[in-house]
Amino acid sequence: MASILAAEAQLAPVEWRESASTADSRLHQLAPYIGKLKPIIARQLLREFTAHNEIVLDCFSGSGTVPLEAVILGRRVLAFDTNPYAVTLTKAKLEPPPTLDLANEQLVLRLAASEKRPRYAEESIPDWVRKFFHPETLQQTLRFADECLEHDDPFLLACLLSILHHQRPGFLSYPSSHLVPYLRDRKFPRVEYPEMYAERALQPRLEAKLRRAYKDSFLIEPDRVMKVDQVGVADLKLECEVDAIVTSPPYMNALDYVRDNRLRMWFLDRSTADYSPEPTEKQADSDAITAAFARNALKYLRSGGHCVLVIGEKVSRKRVTTHPAERMFAKLVTEFPALQLKHVIEDEIPDVRRSRRSGAATKRELILVLQKA
């Protein structure tokens, strides 16, 4: 780590290292998402750098950890992300049906309507998608997804996507991994495990998912949510000032939010047949995102407001030289000289949040607390 940040860095509180806290809302576990922030980190940063009723912006909202903690703490939120899966999850966590009974009623309606929808021609579904499912399960799942998409039902859509792939019986796919989709047909060959390749009925699995989601009660006040939308930071436009920005920008070079969510992405938006190819110009992307953030997000921050950035370390097979926070910080102050560095917090990321089979992943994150003069 280079000089300015290294000199300022303080170690994160030990409780950030613990795997999960009983104080975490169960909604955080609604569905998996790579590079997710720990709720306790979001909670403590929001408590320290924002006040009740203040407006908090998260323009890289991912699975919605910061927005959910913000509304629980009585802040108002604006949340944006480019990824449709991220936006679906954020909306689902912020606007769930208030009770299990209501969620079940909605489920029954959507299932009945989805059964009336026309069946898909098998050849219209890409091969790589068909490899993951029994044909009948795939028909049910697709038509249910369409019903939720047509009626703008992010909560049931998120529930569906959360059980889309895994090897456990409560999931819809053939045996595969959970976070990033890989078939596990070599570990579980069809001849030895025929039950894992049988049709998997949708309704009982969604009902079980809802029971798990509503194990604890939760109360989200709807007027706390100002806007959640699929907008990239380059196109961000707000109609008001914000009191704080609390966000974690994309971990360039370590995680790929599109490729790693490819199966869920395809169910949400089928205009791209295959989401597997990895984008190339990551460093350039990263700089462009930082510049757009300075231009389009920081300008809405009120004077004296805090900007809290959780920045993942760039990890590659080669030696890591500087932390990306260094580059990002330098770029931000060039574009926005009125920004003052107040604190730097250094946090180690436990192995459990590593995502790739190859083992390449984010290792250490720095939290920069900046203030607009």
Among all residues, whose Cβ is closest to ligand SAM?
62
Give the one residue of 33, 171, 214, 267 binding ligand SAM; rule: CB under 6 A: 33
In this complex, which beta carbon is closest to ligand SAM, that of residue 97 or of residue 250?
250
Of the candidates 96, 43, 52, 98, the one whose C-alpha atom is nearest the C-alpha of residue 74 is 52
Sole window of 35-43, 134-142, 164-172, 337-345 interacting with ligand SAM (rule: CB under 6 A): 35-43
Number of helical (H) and strand (E) elements in the chain, helices listed first:
12, 8
d(CA 274, CA 259): 9
Residue located via tokens 């097979």: 317
Sole window of 68-76, 166-174, 175-183, 245-253 interacting with ligand SAM (rule: CB under 6 A): 245-253
Q: Is 133:173 a contact under the CB 8 Å cutoff? A: yes
In this complex, which beta carbon is closest to ligand SAM, that of residue 156 or of residue 297?
297
257 binds ligand SAM (CB under 6 A): yes
Report, in Å, the least distance between residue 294 CB and ligand SAM. 13
In this complex, which beta carbon is closest to ligand SAM, that of residue 87 or of residue 156?
87
d(CA 285, CA 281): 6
Give the one residue of 251, 266, 275, 300 binding ligand SAM; rule: CB under 6 A: 251
The pattern of x and - marking residues 56 through 85 that bind ligand SAM according to CB under 6 A reads ---xx-xx-xx--------------xxx--
Sole window of 190-198, 199-207, 250-258, 333-341 interacting with ligand SAM (rule: CB under 6 A): 250-258
In this complex, which beta carbon is closest to ligand SAM, that of residue 123 or of residue 351?
351
d(CA 91, CA 94): 5
Residues across the chain? 373
340 Cβ contact list (under 8 Å, min separation 6): 370, 371, 372, 373
In this complex, which beta carbon is closest to ligand SAM, that of residue 60 or of residue 174?
60
Give the one residue of 1, 27, 31, 37 binding ligand SAM; rule: CB under 6 A: 37
7 Cβ contact list (under 8 Å, min separation 6): none
36 binds ligand SAM (CB under 6 A): yes
40 binds ligand SAM (CB under 6 A): no
In this complex, which beta carbon is closest to ligand SAM, that of residue 48 or of residue 101?
48
Which conformational region is residue 220 in: left (phi greater than 0), alpha (psi within -120 to 50 degrees), or beta? beta
Give the one residue of 73, 212, 232, 320 binding ligand SAM; rule: CB under 6 A: 232
Report, in Å, the least distance between residue 147 CB and ligand SAM. 25
Report, in Å, the least distance between residue 287 CB and ligand SAM. 12
d(CA 174, CA 189): 10
Strand ranges in the chain using DSSP code E only, listed in sequence order: 9-11, 55-58, 76-81, 225-230, 242-247, 301-312, 339-348, 364-372
Sole window of 9-17, 212-220, 248-256, 352-360 interacting with ligand SAM (rule: CB under 6 A): 248-256
In this complex, which beta carbon is closest to ligand SAM, that of residue 82 or of residue 137?
82
Give the C-alpha distances (Å, rounded to integers) separating 247 from 42, 183, 217, 268, 306: 9, 33, 27, 24, 11
According to DSSP, residue 183 is labeled B
98 binds ligand SAM (CB under 6 A): no
In this complex, which beta carbon is closest to ligand SAM, that of residue 98 or of residue 232?
232
Residue located via tokens 């069809």: 190
Report, in Å, the least distance between residue 251 CB and ligand SAM. 5
Total residues contacting ligand SAM (rule CB under 6 A)?
21
DSSP strand pairing (76-81 vs 364-372): unpaired
253 binds ligand SAM (CB under 6 A): no
Report, in Å, the least distance between residue 82 CB and ligand SAM. 4
123 Cβ contact list (under 8 Å, min separation 6): none
Give the C-alpha distances (Å, rounded to integers) separating 319 from 36, 227, 279: 25, 41, 22
Enumerate residues 264-293 that contact ligand SAM by CB under 6 A.
289
Residues making contact with ligand SAM (CB under 6 A)? 33, 35-37, 59-60, 62-63, 65-66, 81-83, 86, 232-233, 248, 250-251, 257, 289
